[in-house]
Amino acid sequence: MTALDLSSPVAVVGTGTMGQGIAQVALVAGHPVRLYDAVDGRAREAADAIGARLDRLVEKDRLTGAERDAARARLTSAGSLDALAGCALVVEAVVERLDVKQELFRALEDVVGDDCLLATNTSSLSVTAVGGALRVPGRFVGLHFFNPAPLLPLVEVVSGFATDPASATRAYETARAWGKTPVTCADTPGFVVNRVARPLYAEALAVHELRAADPATIDAVLRESGGFRMGAFELTDLIGQDVNESVTHSVWQAFFQDVRFTPSLAQRRLVESGRLGRKSGQGWYDYRDGAERPGPHTAPPAEAPAYVVVEGDLGPAAELVGLIREAGVEVRPEDGYGAGRIVLPDGGTLCLTDGGLPGSEDLVHFDLALDYRAATRIALSASAGVRPGLLSGATGLFQALGKEVSVVGDVPGMIVARTVARIIDLAFDAVARGVATPEDVDTAMRLGVNYPLGPFEWNRRLGDAWARDLLSHIHEWEPSGRCAPSLALHRHAAAADAREGTPS
């Protein structure tokens, strides 16, 4: 099954931001495009807006004048659904209400031919449910574009329970012919991206609700240590707190209130107060004229130790040994058992967080970094009873490496580590349940939400048992089940343990 021929007309129903974006993608690819909106005049306005964007593409040398003129000639606004007869593909981008979408597609079936591919751009509803009332449900698929559709490459091609494989393949190949990077997935709550991405928001909100760190500090640690393009609080302000909470609530409800997807009360209160983010002028941050954005908590300068003792293998943090030497701090290596650690001259110990609490006056945890050399900020955590001077010595050591230091509360797994571990876990669970392949999950998370690594890439870098062990420790301290490792992750880690001869 191949992509739709470029001579085949494509229709887009719903002419909001997403509908216009999808129409522009199909139009620039070379298809005749018909726009329809139930509100009179909206389709004509959308056609004018798309024409203006084509003009800007010419100004940026991304289209020639001739290509723009040809595209404009292929774009028409439809005054009724009947005008969509003869289309080979209809993509719906209307309000996220199941009844509205079902009614629309039932009406479309009376207009288009039985060989017309019907697609919904829903991000939160069941594709199976939307297409369940159709006379020919096999030609119905999900085509989930990401906003802005002309710029973001990812398209999730979602097969409902009744979708014919040939229809899914045609939709996939058509999206690829349009210059997009499609991934295939089963019809599951949140599909791939909105399912696997929940921990970025959930863990940041959990750390905040535990009063371990403020939003600006959490965001800075996620960006500057975790390598995420944006922190969770600034990202939800950009998305819209109401939109983000709605998706979270939809996924939670669709999974029968699975504790792993539980919404945040703090975010609920933000939405109830009308602080929806950038679009309302206030969210976690204040975007009104003259407002100053708060900076992250950054520790004051401290003295670096003259030497450190490194016992054992630091695992994912092994790169720190070379960085410490380069900073002019003597490294005295010693054999060690279990997790590696850095010992300061006064006997205090630094360890990469293992998901537990520091719990000792002689221990400071540091957070995971995507790349310890490139990281510009490191988070430290200690118990309230930490020995005086130890936290200062730990701070001075990381400052000697050129890092800003944020001291956060003693929350299990800290910030980056617990976030990455939960993303890995949800990815393994999704693959085990047949939602998508590991390769498609990695592609979806890198392209759909700009993650620095896909979950399976992270897992390979950190080790097959790392996420399971860290989440198991968090679960001991927070036994709600929210952070408990999935069966899929347990199986994967146990297989790795067996290969290495390690008791699990």
DSSP string of 456-491, one letter each residue: HHHHHHH-TTHHHHHHHHHHHHSTTSTTPPPHHHHH
Of residues 77, 109, 121, 123, which has the active-site annotation? 123
Strands (E), 121-166: 140-145, 154-159
DSSP string of 393-405, one letter each residue: HHHHHHHHTT-EE
Cβ neighbors of 412 (< 8 A, separation 6 or more) are: 353, 355, 356, 357, 418, 473, 474, 477, 478
173 annotated active-site: no
Strands (E), 383-433: 404-408
Query: Which H or E run contains 309?
Result: strand 307-311
Query: Which H or E run contains 181?
Result: strand 181-186
Distant-in-sequence contacts of 349-353, Cβ < 8 A, 24+ apart: 350/394, 350/397, 352/314, 352/315, 352/316, 352/317, 352/417, 353/381, 353/412, 353/413, 353/414, 353/417, 353/470
121 annotated active-site: no
Of residues 121, 124, 126, 156, which has the active-site annotation? 156
Residue 155: beta bridge partners?
Answer: 145, 182
Of residues 194, 244, 250, 459, which has the active-site annotation? 194
CB 175 within 8 A of CB 155: yes
Scan for tokens 């709605």, then name that residue: 246
Of residues 31, 144, 208, 297, which has the active-site annotation? 144
Question: Would you state the torsion angle of the CA atoms of residues 35, 38, 41, 46, taken in this order, to the nearest 10 degrees?
Answer: -40
So which residues are the catalytic ones? Answer: 123, 144, 156, 194
